[in-house]
Structure 1
Amino acid sequence: MKIHPILQIALLAVACLMCACQNGYLKKAPDKSVLVPETYADFTALMDNMTVFNNSPALQEIGSDDYRTGDAGFTALTSELQKNSYIWAADIYEGQPCPDWNMPYQQVFYANIVLDGLAALKPAAAEQESWNTARGSALFHRAFAFYNLAQLFAAAYDPASAGTLPGIPLRLTADVNVKAGRGNLKQVYDQVIHDLTEADQLLPGQVAYKNRPSKTAAEALLARVLLSMGDYTRAATYATAALSRNHNLTDYNGLDTLAANPFPYIPAADNPEVIFYDKLISYGFSSSTRTTVAPDLFSLYAADDLRRPVFFAGSGPNTYFKGRYTGFRLQLFGGLAVDELFLIRAECLARQGKTGDALADLNTLLKSRWRTGTYQDFTVSSKDELLKKVLLERRKELVFRGIRWSDLRRLNKDPAFATTLSRTVAGKSYTLAPGDKRYLFPIPQQELLANDIEQNER
């Protein structure tokens, strides 16, 4: 997309700042005199920069149980960061910068530039909608970045301990001279919910391009956040609100199961099921031909479940994932989509004992995924059976989207759904038990030295 000329200098300055992230993302201040977006078009152009926005962390996907790689594939990896993430090493970075930390904070910095700039403007009546959209978009992007950071660098949310566990630095201004410590986890989630709730009031219901946030996207992200917090009542409320505007599900019977990319290429083409376009940071691990689908994951799909041929290609130990909602093999989808909303609401309703409504959501989704005429509505005899089924379908539907790590963290707190991860490399076995401290990625060393913040235990 085109970027306003006046912003090119600003973007260069920000890029220089992020290069300095090897010494901490706040160590070197940019020259504020060149950061001069002044109009609503400028602010929009700044947030349309998809090299910065519409990117989410991906190391958690490497560390989860979606992927497998053999000894040859592991050896072929040239990145120690990816190798160490795969085996849950104590030292992941080995002195190198971490894109999964730097990229979200770059997004926060850009969003804060917009928010600070808008605070200095007094919009006329004819400009109010533009002001609202710009502010709502910046709040959404900042909230998404904070939430993503919390999934890697802070503990899973528990209301009993959130007020005492360390959070992440909450940068709420573009002024890099303002220090931000880690605070606590409750403050992080309170800020994310605050930003998204305001964004929901400001954003339009529909947007021309799905790389831009909408009211539906704000509500979908709120549903995801609240589910991770165990707030099932509010998560269901926001999922319902988002579904009231977009409940489109793609009938997989209409897809070419033999295609290398079964889904349309976003953002150039439209996938009506996608609410907000976002991709995971590109790592060679996810696109390597030597990286395959975990066999226990592939075995979950029945023969008439079209997700099997739509999501996967190859066979046996050479099965790989192709069902990216980005429509491009080298980019994993990290955004928000309708299928996730149906599963969020189904889980919340199941946990609340609303069996009929939960079953309706689950069956609606699955009918669009199975070969025509083969799916029979799922029925249950107990609340526990229903919840187990919903979580199983969540596992099968939302694969390779960066979501599994967060699900493992929250579900590991329940012995009924706790999972121990394991893998073997060069004859050595590695395990990640429920509640292991290695579910928290370490804060990059450069950040610790530059800003004097607390490290995560590993």
Structure 2
Amino acid sequence: MKRYNYLLATFLLLLPFMSCKKSFLNEKPDQSLLVPESLSDFQALLDNLSIMNATPALQNVAADDYYTTDNGWMALTSPAEKNSYLWLSDIYEHQTDQDWNVPYKQVFYANVVLDGLDKLTVGSTSQNTYNQVKGSALFYRAFAEYNLVQMFAADYDPATSSQLPGIPVRSSSDVNIKSTRGTIQETYEAIIVDLNNAAPLLSNTATFKSRPCKTAVYALLSKIYLSMRNYSQALGFATACLNLNSSLIDYNTISTSASKPFPPPLTADNKEVIFYATLNSYSFNRAATTYVNTDLYSVYDSNDLRKIAFFKKSGTGYNFKGTYTGNVSYFAGLATDEIYLIRAECEVRLNNLTGALGDLNTLVGLRYVTGSYPNYTTTDPNQALVKVLQERRKELIGRGARWYDLKRLNLEAPFAVTLTRSIKGQTYTLIPNSNRYVFPIPDDEIAANGLTQNPR
């Protein structure tokens, strides 16, 4: 009976968020219905995989890794997809959107758990479980806010981060507390505090890869500091992560021609996956007419096994199939391959060319036919950085990372890119550092909470 009551309460918890007509942050669930009260209840709330392990995905539509045809664009099922693909000013056409709502559901659930834990008396036998649940809630809140600030705020720039608006940071489940936008600096500080508090509470690895662990905390901190251009901190946390898990897959050991080449990390052993998460579901990612950019596809040479493992011929182009989820969803979690690339980039930028090339060659060598990869060498740091960033794009395709890289690298003239697309005879252009790299906040949130809208 208790389990039934808990499941019913969880359903009721979700009800306030099912409306698409009202402000998400302004919804006021009946707190009397929120009955999770034990550690197992709190853990069950955090184990809601479809909510807690999902990330924004419109940035995958907007980036330049893929293109679609006129017919493919017309067949997209939401205005947000069509408009994001063309970088239009009005993305949502007055509709709400899951890229905003889902991360804030994660924040709300995490806050429900954290508020509940504060009221819980813990016996010594439960202390470890209590620590794991609390550390997980802190991680989920930080993970959500990191994804939100990447989507809905300007890129971190030390010169402007204390002036430009970040996102609403919610530290309580009480929705009567007004939501306001702090600065980008304040947003990042809140995220980092949560992760620093989570690290000592979590075990090094998790029983299930859908749950956070200390290795995941270090991986996320390395991503955050990379986006902040704090390369020494990013390097330190990447190293801390790889000290706990440095496993890589030798692509010679998988069936690269299979429709799903990689083992599903939730039921099998994908040893590179540290924390499992997926991009929100949009028709763009599933469509047969969504093709890998031809210029990107041509960069993979014939001995690069990623060319077979990641792509399949379809119609006039190549579809992406190389997701680390092992299913139709696109992987957007944390994995060791990305951490090797973060560390390599930081090492180049900090003038440790030997370390950078070592990490780069360790990773890329396992992506080539055995014996066919000549270790990359150079004495030029600029050339090394170009190579690392090229391999980053080749390795992380399909994970939603490219848009964030475009944002941060547009601030560096040698890597700034102008994007162009043509649909139904009309050409669309996105210039470096355009305001349209920052997604607008849904209109209902602006109206209900008086938030400052992002200029488009």
TM-score normalised per structure 1: 0.97
SS at match of 1:319: strand
Instruction: Give runs of aligned pairs for residues 383-394 of structure 1, distance below 5 A.
Output: 383-394=381-392
Instruction: Give runs of aligned pairs for residues 333-352 of structure 1, distance below 5 A.
Output: 333-352=331-350
Q: CA deviation digits over 1:294-327, x for unaligned, max 9?
A: 1111011011011100101106832110000001
Q: Specify every segment of 5 or more residues in structure 1 that has no aligned partner in the other structure, as ranges.
A: none
CA contact (8 A) 1:20 1:28 kept: no
CA contact (8 A) 1:113 1:174 kept: yes
Mapped to 2, the partners of 1:78 and 1:378 lie a distance apart of: 44
Mapped to 2, the partners of 1:217 and 1:287 lie a distance apart of: 28
Instruction: Say which is worse superposed, 21-30 or 334-343, in terms of deviation.
Output: 21-30
Partner of 1:404: 402
Mapped to 1, the partners of 2:380 and 2:44 lie a distance apart of: 52
CA contact (8 A) 1:162 1:184 kept: yes
CA contact (8 A) 2:13 2:33 kept: no
Partner of 1:165: 164
Cα displacement (A) at 1:4: 4.5
CA contact (8 A) 1:220 1:239 kept: yes
Mapped to 1, the partners of 2:447 and 2:309 lie a distance apart of: 46
Cα displacement (A) at 1:27: 2.4
Partner amino acid, structure 2, of 1:318: G
Partner of 1:63: 62
Cα displacement (A) at 1:245: 1.1
Matched, 1:30 2:29: yes
Partner of 1:132: 131
Partner amino acid, structure 1, of 2:51: V
CA contact (8 A) 1:21 1:102 kept: no
Q: Specify every segment of 5 or more residues in structure 2 that has no aligned partner in the other structure, as ranges.
A: none
Partner amino acid, structure 2, of 1:389: K
Partner amino acid, structure 1, of 2:46: M
> How has the CA–CA distance of structure 1 residues 20 and 316 changed in structure 2, closer, same or farther, with 3 Å as cutoff?
closer
Partner amino acid, structure 1, of 2:346: C
Partner of 2:210: 211
Flag as ranges the 4+ runs of structure 1 deviating above 6 A: none
Partner of 1:255: 254
Partner of 1:16: 15
Cα displacement (A) at 1:380: 0.5
Partner of 2:149: 150
SS at match of 2:316: helix
Instruction: Give runs of aligned pairs for residues 222-301 of structure 1, distance below 5 A.
Output: 222-301=221-300
Partner of 1:193: 192
Partner of 2:104: 105
Cα displacement (A) at 1:96: 1.0
Mapped to 1, the partners of 2:90 and 2:17 lie a distance apart of: 22
Partner of 2:306: 307
Partner amino acid, structure 2, of 1:18: F
CA contact (8 A) 2:166 2:182 kept: yes
CA contact (8 A) 1:9 1:35 kept: no
Partner of 1:382: 380
Mapped to 2, the partners of 1:9 and 1:164 lie a distance apart of: 44
Partner of 2:91: 92
Q: CA deviation digits over 1:222-276, x for unaligned, max 9?
A: 0011100001001011111110111110000011121000011231222011000
Partner amino acid, structure 1, of 2:408: R
Partner amino acid, structure 1, of 2:28: A
Mapped to 1, the partners of 2:379 and 2:232 lie a distance apart of: 23
Mapped to 2, the partners of 1:253 and 1:84 lie a distance apart of: 40
Mapped to 1, the partners of 2:104 and 2:6 lie a distance apart of: 19
Mapped to 1, the partners of 2:75 and 2:28 lie a distance apart of: 38
Partner amino acid, structure 2, of 1:178: I
TM-score normalised per structure 2: 0.98
Matching residue within 345, 365, 368 for 1:367: 365
Mapped to 2, the partners of 1:53 and 1:66 lie a distance apart of: 26
Partner amino acid, structure 1, of 2:343: R
Mapped to 1, the partners of 2:174 and 2:259 lie a distance apart of: 46
CA contact (8 A) 2:203 2:214 kept: yes
Mapped to 2, the partners of 1:27 and 1:107 lie a distance apart of: 15
Cα displacement (A) at 1:79: 1.5
Mapped to 2, the partners of 1:453 and 1:185 lie a distance apart of: 14
Instruction: Say which is worse superposed, 71-80 or 234-243, in terms of deviation.
Output: 71-80
Partner amino acid, structure 2, of 1:127: S
Mapped to 1, the partners of 2:419 and 2:312 lie a distance apart of: 24
Cα displacement (A) at 1:183: 1.1
Partner amino acid, structure 1, of 2:375: D
RMSD after superposition: 1.2
Q: Percent same amino acid at aligned positions? A: 49
Mapped to 1, the partners of 2:72 and 2:444 lie a distance apart of: 30
Task: Figure out how many residues of one structure are paired with residues of the other and give that number.
Answer: 455
Cα displacement (A) at 1:81: 1.3
SS at match of 1:314: strand
Matching residue within 403, 406, 422 for 1:424: 422
Mapped to 1, the partners of 2:74 and 2:422 lie a distance apart of: 13
